[in-house]
């Protein structure tokens, strides 16, 4: 009986310790005192999931407790993923703040991409189709597939804009989507 009582007391003490750790939030003030995630650890995780070429931009605590937020750039694209404190799970999806119905991941990705622009001078316009006046103040580069029905509808709208607005010129670059439209490639080349 005495052994059973000691055993019950020991278990209740353990449960109390675990409960108080979670209830008080053992790392409420600063989780980085208890948990770390280094760039080397993230690189090892990326290698395991077969994405070692991604450049790590920033590691910080996520808006959801128990997760690290990792900002990366891969092939010119910036994005986020999450790693749990145990470093066993990589979570690629969005974090939604339920009460506010806000996509916290989208907010952060927008911050990461703020101010990033495409250097238009690096896009050759020599072979582009021109719709409008080449001396127009505003130049818009449009990438399109010659066999895409949705692109065709868009072209009709471009023509209307070019007729109404002499200050805009559209440079149309043909970008065939050969898996969807096999004949688009030769049409783009001719």
Q: Give me the pLDDT at residue 27, please.
A: 62
- Alpha carbons 170 and 124: distance in angstroms, whole number: 14
* CATH code where residue 105 lies: 3.10.450.70
Which of the listed residues 95, 113, 131 is the one where a domain comes to its end?
113
- In this prediction the pTM is 0.55
Q: Are residues 55 and 96 in the same domain?
A: yes
Q: Are residues 78 and 53 in the same domain?
A: yes
Number of domains within the chain: 2
Which of the listed residues 113, 138, 155 is the one where a domain comes to its end?
113
Which of the listed residues 98, 113, 128 is the one where a domain comes to its end?
113
Q: Answer yes or no: is pLDDT of 1 > 70.
A: no
> Is residue 13 in a domain?
no
Q: Are residues 108 and 132 in the same domain?
A: no
Domain residue limits at 130: 120-189
Q: Answer yes or no: is pLDDT of 49 > 60.
A: yes
User: Using 50, 70 and 90 to split pLDDT, how confident is the model at 96?
Assistant: very high
Q: Are residues 124 and 180 in the same domain?
A: yes
Q: Are residues 128 and 160 in the same domain?
A: yes
Torsion angle, alpha carbons of 45, 47, 53, 55, to 10: 20
Q: Answer yes or no: is pLDDT of 162 > 50.
A: yes
Q: Answer yes or no: is pLDDT of 29 > 80.
A: no
Q: Answer yes or no: is pLDDT of 137 > 90.
A: yes
- Alpha carbons 157 and 159: distance in angstroms, whole number: 5
Q: Give me the pLDDT at residue 190, please.
A: 62
Q: Answer yes or no: is pLDDT of 2 > 60.
A: no
């Amino acid at each position: 009986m005495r052994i059973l009582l000691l055993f019950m007391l020991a278990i209740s003490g353990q449960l109390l310790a675990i409960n108080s750790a979670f209830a008080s939030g053992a790392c409420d003030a600063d989780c980085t005192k208890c948990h770390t995630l280094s760039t080397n650890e993230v690189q090892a995780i990326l290698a395991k999931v077969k994405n070692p070429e991604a450049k790590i931009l920033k590691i910080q605590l996520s808006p959801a407790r128990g997760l690290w937020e990792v900002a990366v750039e891969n092939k010119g694209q910036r994005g986020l993923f999450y790693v749990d404190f145990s470093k066993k799970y990589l979570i690629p999806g969005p974090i939604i703040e339920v009460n506010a119905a806000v996509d916290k991941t989208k907010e952060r990705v927008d911050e990461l991409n703020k101010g990033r622009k495409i250097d238009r001078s690096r896009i050759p316009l020599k072979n582009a189709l021109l719709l409008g006046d080449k001396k127009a103040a505003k130049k818009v580069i449009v990438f399109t597939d010659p066999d895409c029905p949705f692109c065709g509808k868009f072209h009709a709208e471009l023509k209307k804009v070019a007729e109404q607005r002499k200050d805009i010129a559209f440079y149309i670059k043909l970008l065939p989507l050969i898996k969807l439209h096999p004949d688009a490639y030769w049409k783009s080349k001719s």
